Structure 1
Amino acid sequence: MGESLFQVFFLIFSGAAVFATFALYTRQPLLVAYIALGILIGPHGTKLITEVHLISEIAHIGIIFLLFLLGLDMQPKALFAVLKQATNVGIISSIVFAIGGYGIGWVFGFSHVENIIIGIAMMFSSTIIGIKLLPTTVLHHKHAGELMVGLLLFQDFIAILCLMFLLSGDLGQVDVQKLGQTLVALPLLGVSSWAFVKYILLYLIARFDRIHEFIFLLAIGWCLGVAEAAAFVGLSAEIGAFIAGVCLATSPISQYIAISLKPLRDFFLILFFFSLGAQLNITLLSDVIIASIVLAIAMLVIKPVTFGLLLKSHSEKASLSWDIGLRLGQISEFSLLIAFVATQGEMIGEKASTLIQAAAIITFIVSSYLVIFNLPNPVAVKDHLRRD
């Protein structure tokens, strides 16, 4: 790396602070600001940072913490309650979005495997945009909030399964031995992690719960320990982190751990989204810009309509159905992660990865504006729509 690590961190975080300020004033999601910064100062932009491999490696920790925190929020009883209501809508909508993504990829000449990945990436909506632009009173106290959380949790669960599949072998030529090893290792890791939490970790937490520094350290050690164990037995660090979170979710102190680790997670996620932008080859953008726009517009139309019709068919009020549909009418940050994993595994080429990233960014921006100017939200420009 031509730059020192200090210089790289200075450019990333000082630049991110400036871009984030601009994003907040223009009502944009912060992750778009981080991606834009990566595009601007990365190796395909002004080349202030020319080597992003190390940053990508460091940023990988952010994804591990993200999945760990996702697992911490998945209380089994609450999870089953909301998923029961959202399952049918989630399954049908995911199939529709995947078919739409595959079809558009096929029209623009991508390979069969690349079209599968494009279709998978289209299945999910953004948790960040969906939750952040939902008024707090709706999120915690109304049926709309419960329904949105249920749908997003169901999509997160599908995303985890998709990541497991992508990390288990090549699409189109699955390594049967490796996939079999995964299917055996997964329940073994889950059971052993649950037993360790029940008989050792919970005892340590109860014994030293007043020493916050120890709890913080224990949580990080547990997350990274199970992640490393998962990688050792042929799974992935991300899957291990998710298992670590789920096993710890029943602990009374799980929410304290989640709150404590969020700043650490955000630190690494800034690096992750920056590295995504820095690796976005804008020289290839001209080759996929039309496809990206078509894919983005298709999702911005298909998702609200599909959610609206499905929810209405499940006896939801028309106004509520279209409200939720519009709020979930974008591609997900999970789509960026899937593109990243598929590219690292050489399942898709740079053009397909650029297509997914560009389409996701377009939908982030357009969807945010649609919600901000038309639905109640905490950052609305119009006074009558502003709801905290």
Structure 2
Amino acid sequence: MDHQSLVFSFFLIFTGAAILASLALYTRQPLLVAYIALGAMIGPYGLSLVSDTELMTDISHAGIIFLLFLLGLDMQPSHLIHMLKKATLVAIGSSVLFFLLGYGVSLLFGFTQTESIVVGAALMFSSTIIGIKLLPTTVLHHRHTGELVVGLLLLQDLIAILVLLFLYNSMGGAESDGTMIEFAKALAALPLLILLAYVIVRYVLLKLISRFDRFHEYIFLLAIGWCLGMAEVANLCGLSAEIGAFVAGVALATSPISQYIAVSLKPLRDFFLILFFFSIGASFNLGLLEMIALPAIILAMLVLALKPMIFRVLLSRIDESKELGWEVGFRLGQISEFSLLIAYIAASAALIGEEASHLIQATAILTFLFSSYIVVLNYPSPIAVSDKLRRD
């Protein structure tokens, strides 16, 4: 894609998103619906006005990285450690149950053993983007609900990294004997990454910030460089870029300037997240819809119905209230962007066929949409259609 076509693609995406977002607001619909619908309309399987969705997906990945960085800026390390300890059993237990759900339903619809395992793995996780984007800032910063949602999502992300490492090694065929070694390397890399972030923040970044805090442009540039630098270091260590960005944010969270950085980067995050949701709609092959419609609808309905129930029951086991359990369950009542990545990698490794890959994609899109509807119609969120529930 040359420079001119890239600019033209951005014109189509953001002008189209502005038009559909206006219609969505007039009809009191969540904005995420507009972005995904636009991707399906003008992507390669629609009008084919934007054909290079791989580039858009790569660009939009930066939105997820910035989202996790901003999330880290809002988390005090002491609160985070406490919440991770409390939520570990819930995260592991829910992941096992959702895996069994996806595995069993896939087998019933005639998918192979391997395809059923991959579909089960895809159902284990909830969406970090949906979960955090629909949390008001006041809930994220000051309420137990926000801490619990974040803790569960982070633990799921760590489990997802192990699944992705396994899939990456599966692509190596006979060379995949080093899978457990790679797992060990990734697990050992995480505490080292945290230590590295702490040392650099304490002895380098905070000194630079205190010396040049009058230059807002410099602080903005330093924050972006720090976020993307840690994301790349995490990648090199066998972890995900998202984990690296989150660690970078948490390491800066104790700085008095962290909230200024968070406010400054929000528009940049939103720019990339629009591209992310557009790429979800654009990458779905509408021609395969008839083949996977029934299993996708059944899987989506089971996810939407059972995730809130399972989270409520598991959270009650750690002495959380029934009301909080339901709210956390509904906020996490979808599958994850990691599920889309699992589908793509497994298909590339020929572990699953195109039909199974699109089953995961269709289930993800359906749960993204309907879960968003449930949350914005019933709980406080920044994009709630009701003035009573809208919280920034």
Which TM bucket (shorter chain)? 0.7 to 0.9
Rounded to whole Å, the distance in 1 between the matches of 2:16 and 2:62 is: 21
| Structure-2 residue corresponding to 1:46 | 47
**Per-residue deviation, 1:381:** 6.7
Rounded to whole Å, the distance in 1 between the matches of 2:319 and 2:188 is: 41
Within-5 A mapping of 1:367-382: 367-371=371-375
| Structure-2 residue corresponding to 1:5 | 6
Rounded to whole Å, the distance in 1 between the matches of 2:239 and 2:326 is: 39
- Which residues of structure 1 form unaligned runs of 5+? none
| Structure-2 residue corresponding to 1:55 | 56
How many residue pairs align between the two structures? 384
- Which residues of structure 2 form unaligned runs of 5+? none
Rounded to whole Å, the distance in 2 between the matches of 1:243 and 1:140 is: 17
Q: 259, 264, 268: which one pairs with 2:263?
A: 259
Rounded to whole Å, the distance in 2 between the matches of 1:132 and 1:59 is: 15
Higher mean displacement: 146-155 or 4-13: 146-155
Rounded to whole Å, the distance in 2 between the matches of 1:191 and 1:218 is: 20
Q: Deviations over 1:326-369 (max 9, x none)?
A: 44433344544554565566655443332222212222333344
Query: What letter is aligned with 1:170?
Result: N
**Per-residue deviation, 1:65:** 2.1
Within-5 A mapping of 1:143-182: 145-147=143-145, 149-163=147-161, 165-167=163-165, 169-171=168-170, 174=176, 176=178, 178-182=182-186
Q: Deviations over 1:148-167 (max 9, x none)?
A: 53134222332134135414
RMSD: 3.3
1:170 partner SS: helix
Q: Deviations over 1:289-318 (max 9, x none)?
A: 111101001111211222233344555554
Rounded to whole Å, the distance in 1 between the matches of 2:241 and 2:376 is: 37
**Per-residue deviation, 1:370:** 3.9
**Per-residue deviation, 1:4:** 1.2
8 Å CA contact 1:90, 1:151 repeated in 2: no
| Structure-2 residue corresponding to 1:365 | 369
TM-score normalised over the length of structure 2: 0.83
| Structure-2 residue corresponding to 1:214 | 218
Rounded to whole Å, the distance in 2 between the matches of 1:299 and 1:154 is: 17
Higher mean displacement: 36-45 or 315-324: 315-324
8 Å CA contact 1:113, 1:171 repeated in 2: no
| Structure-2 residue corresponding to 1:100 | 101
Rounded to whole Å, the distance in 2 between the matches of 1:318 and 1:234 is: 38
| Structure-2 residue corresponding to 1:281 | 285
Rounded to whole Å, the distance in 2 between the matches of 1:316 and 1:179 is: 32
8 Å CA contact 1:134, 1:376 repeated in 2: yes
Within-5 A mapping of 1:116-131: 116-126=117-127, 130=131
Rounded to whole Å, the distance in 1 between the matches of 2:285 and 2:151 is: 32
Rounded to whole Å, the distance in 2 between the matches of 1:334 and 1:302 is: 20
**Per-residue deviation, 1:284:** 1.8
Q: Deviations over 1:30-67 (max 9, x none)?
A: 33322221111011111111222322232232233233
1:4 partner SS: helix
Higher mean displacement: 285-294 or 159-168: 159-168
Rounded to whole Å, the distance in 2 between the matches of 1:181 and 1:314 is: 31
Higher mean displacement: 246-255 or 317-326: 317-326
| Structure-2 residue corresponding to 1:66 | 67
Query: What letter is aligned with 1:308?
Result: R
Query: What letter is aligned with 1:150?
Result: L
**Per-residue deviation, 1:93:** 2.2
| Structure-2 residue corresponding to 1:75 | 76
Does residue 269 (structure 1) correspond to residue 268 (structure 2)? The answer is no
Higher mean displacement: 168-177 or 158-167: 168-177
Q: Deviations over 1:122-165 (max 9, x none)?
A: 23334555566667776666xxx513531342223321341354
Rounded to whole Å, the distance in 2 between the matches of 1:135 and 1:204 is: 31
Does residue 329 (structure 1) correspond to residue 328 (structure 2)? The answer is no
Higher mean displacement: 151-160 or 167-176: 167-176
Query: What letter is aligned with 2:90?
Result: V
Rounded to whole Å, the distance in 2 between the matches of 1:138 and 1:187 is: 28
Query: What letter is aligned with 1:205?
Result: I
Q: 284, 290, 295: which one pairs with 2:294?
A: 290
Rounded to whole Å, the distance in 2 between the matches of 1:266 and 1:51 is: 21
Pair 1:139–1:380, CA change in 2 (3 A): same
Flag as ranges the 4+ runs of structure 1 deviating above 6 A: 134-141, 376-383
Does residue 248 (structure 1) correspond to residue 252 (structure 2)? The answer is yes
Higher mean displacement: 202-211 or 250-259: 250-259
1:304 partner SS: helix
Rounded to whole Å, the distance in 2 between the matches of 1:49 and 1:288 is: 25
1:224 partner SS: helix
| Structure-2 residue corresponding to 1:223 | 227
Rounded to whole Å, the distance in 2 between the matches of 1:339 and 1:152 is: 24
| Structure-2 residue corresponding to 1:23 | 24
Query: What letter is aligned with 2:76?
Result: Q
Query: What letter is aligned with 2:299?
Result: L
8 Å CA contact 2:31, 2:383 repeated in 1: no
Rounded to whole Å, the distance in 2 between the matches of 1:69 and 1:322 is: 26
Higher mean displacement: 370-379 or 73-82: 370-379
8 Å CA contact 2:139, 2:146 repeated in 1: no
